[in-house]
DNA sequence: GTCTATAAGATGATAGAC
DNA sequence: GTCTATCATCTTATAGAC
């Protein structure tokens, strides 16, 4: 297996992530991904024997990249800056119009997904809540850090969905601004 | 067409609503709905020539029922009571474990849905925001009623998704309680 | 309004050549 | 690691009998 940045596996994951963020897990097929990376669908099956394998690999990569970027963006930040960096990172999902957070999409569709994918998505959200909870606690910004962390994650995820549905990205920006004001400004 | 409460059309819509709230639009097939109501899939096609027709009818019914229930539950309520009634009505989606709001699901999947369905979902959210905005204004509960209304809808929708994903209904209840505290308590 | 039958295509997945 | 070829199944949708 090559480590080249454009290795087939990575390109398949890229194509899958872009599409699932827009249309959901069940709307994306192996053939569609194969076409997108100019291979045959048998090659996709070679790398991901079952669709659930692709789903798990995708969420795992998303999870890792998210926290790597979060760490990089908050190296010497105050608690308030950390929370703003978190909201800014969530927003990147909207850059491809109509797309939302990968895990927001899969979380909504949980009831119809393979169990291993559901577990991976749950792990992403638990890590999100733990991270924000630690920041709130560190900054003494909340009297109930875990509840407020959960609310912040829920609000930002809901704002992504609503922005996509209403086709108005400013919905997210205005929501994030008011969350900051109410919860930790 | 009969007006009996169990007419086939209504039973198909019931089955579709239950399933789409759990697994999403693309995971639900006509055959599955036909089996659920004990008819053949050709009968489903008779009532809904295309899947988009079913989607639009479903969202339209959901929209109408939601605002009928909201009106009934807030007949002589104060603004604060109205907002609590709204949050309580949203919560009913969670009664079937793992399910979320029909429009929350379809809003997330917008990028892969037929345009008429997308428009109907958008109409639901716009009506939600307008209703809450009017309540906030009426009760002088916000200095930016429209922005706060949008944030409240986003937060409650996100809380439904997160509660389903984490398989913990208390996530919604705790979020709703804290939204009330920050925004209008 | 529901049925049987079927079309025409997509889907996840596998076997085996290169 | 990618390919061709194929499978069994599912998908939305239609035609026509009852």
pLDDT, tens only, A67-123? 999 999 999 999 999 999 999 999 999 999 899 999 999 999 999 999 999 999 999
Give the bases of strand D that a protein CB approaches within 7 Å.
1-5, 10-16
In chain B, what are the helix, strand and coil shares in percent, each to the nearest 5? 75, 0, 25
> For residue A170, is pLDDT > 70?
yes
> A165, A170, A173: best mutation site toward chain B, by most B Cβ within 10 Å?
A165
B11-15 CB contacts, 8 Å cutoff, 24+ apart: B11/B37, B12/B37, B12/B44, B12/B47, B12/B48, B12/B54, B13/B54, B13/B57, B13/B58, B13/B61
Write down the domain spans for chain B: 51-184
Tens digit of each residue's pLDDT (9 = 90 or more) over B154-179: 999 999 999 999 999 999 999 999 99
Cβ atoms of B180 and B84 within 8 Å: the answer is yes
> For residue B89, is pLDDT > 70?
yes
> For residue A32, is pLDDT > 60?
yes
Cβ atoms of A83 and A128 within 8 Å: the answer is no
* Whether this model's pTM surpasses 0.95: yes
Tens digit of each residue's pLDDT (9 = 90 or more) over B10-37: 999 999 999 999 999 999 999 999 999 9
Residues 47-86 of B with CB under 7 A from strand D: 49-52
Contact A107 B174 (CB under 8 A): no
Q: What is the pLDDT of residue A147?
A: 96
Percent of chain B with pLDDT over 70: 97
Nearest to A108 by CA among B109, B74, B28: B109
CA A118 to C1' C17, in angstroms, rounded, equals 38
Q: Which residues of A touch B103 (CB under 8 A)?
A: 165
A6-15 CB contacts, 8 Å cutoff, 24+ apart: A8/A37, A8/A39, A8/A43, A8/A47, A9/A47, A11/A37, A12/A37, A12/A44, A12/A47, A12/A48, A12/A54, A13/A54, A13/A57, A13/A58, A13/A61
Q: What is the pLDDT of residue A5?
A: 66
> For residue A22, is pLDDT > 80?
yes
Residues 24-53 of A with CB under 7 A from strand D: 34, 38-43, 46-47
Nearest DNA or RNA nucleotide to A9 (CA to C1'): D1
Contact A122 B166 (CB under 8 A): yes
Whether B67 contacts chain A with CB within 8 A: no
Mean pLDDT, residues B138-165: 97
CA B50 to C1' C15, in angstroms, rounded, equals 37
Q: What is the pLDDT of residue A183?
A: 72
Mean per-residue pLDDT over chain B, rounded: 95
Cβ atoms of B172 and B94 within 8 Å: the answer is yes
Residue A181's pLDDT band (cuts 50, 70, 90): confident
Mean pLDDT, residues B53-74: 98
Find tokens 């969420």 and name the residue: A59
For residue B162, the tally of other CB atoms under 10 A from its CB is 28
> A122, A126, A141, A150: best mutation site toward chain B, by most B Cβ within 10 Å?
A150
Give the bases of strand C that a protein CB approaches within 7 Å.
1-5, 10-16
Q: What is the pLDDT of residue B5?
A: 66
Tens digit of each residue's pLDDT (9 = 90 or more) over B36-52: 999 999 999 999 999 99
Mean per-residue pLDDT over chain A, rounded: 95
Give the CATH number of domain B51-184.
Answer: 1.10.357.10
Contact A111 B178 (CB under 8 A): no
Contact B155 A158 (CB under 8 A): yes
Closest residue (CA to C1') to nucleotide D3 in the complex: A40
Whether A120 contacts chain B with CB within 8 A: no
Percent of chain B with pLDDT over 90: 92
Contact A118 B165 (CB under 8 A): yes
Q: What is the pLDDT of residue A76?
A: 94
Question: Pick the residue with more confidence: B160 or A6?
Answer: B160
Contact A109 B153 (CB under 8 A): no
Q: What is the pLDDT of residue B61?
A: 98
Query: For chain B, how many residues are written?
Result: 185
> For residue A1, is pLDDT > 60?
no
Nearest DNA or RNA nucleotide to B27 (CA to C1'): D11
Contact B150 A171 (CB under 8 A): yes
Q: What is the pLDDT of residue B184?
A: 67
Q: Which residues of B touch A100 (CB under 8 A)?
A: 108
């Amino acid at each position: 297996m090559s480590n080249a940045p454009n290795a087939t596996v990575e390109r398949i994951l890229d194509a899958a992530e872009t599409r699932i963020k827009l249309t959901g897990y069940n709307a994306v097929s192996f053939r569609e991904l194969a076409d997108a990376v100019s291979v045959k669908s048998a090659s996709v099956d070679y790398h991901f024997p079952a669709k659930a394998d692709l789903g798990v690999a995708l969420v795992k990569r998303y999870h890792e990249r998210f926290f790597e970027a979060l760490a990089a963006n908050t190296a010497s930040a105050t608690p308030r800056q950390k929370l703003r960096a978190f909201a800014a990172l969530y927003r990147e999902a909207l850059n491809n119009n109509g797309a939302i957070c990968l895990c927001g999409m899969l979380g909504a569709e949980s009831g119809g997904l393979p169990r291993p994918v559901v577990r991976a998505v749950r792990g992403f959200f638990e890590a999100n809540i733990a991270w924000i909870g630690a920041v709130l606690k560190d900054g003494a910004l909340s009297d109930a850090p875990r509840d407020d962390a959960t609310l912040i994650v829920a609000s930002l995820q809901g704002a992504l969905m609503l922005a996509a549905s209403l086709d108005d990205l400013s919905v997210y920006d205005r929501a994030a601004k008011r969350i900051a004001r109410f919860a930790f400004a």
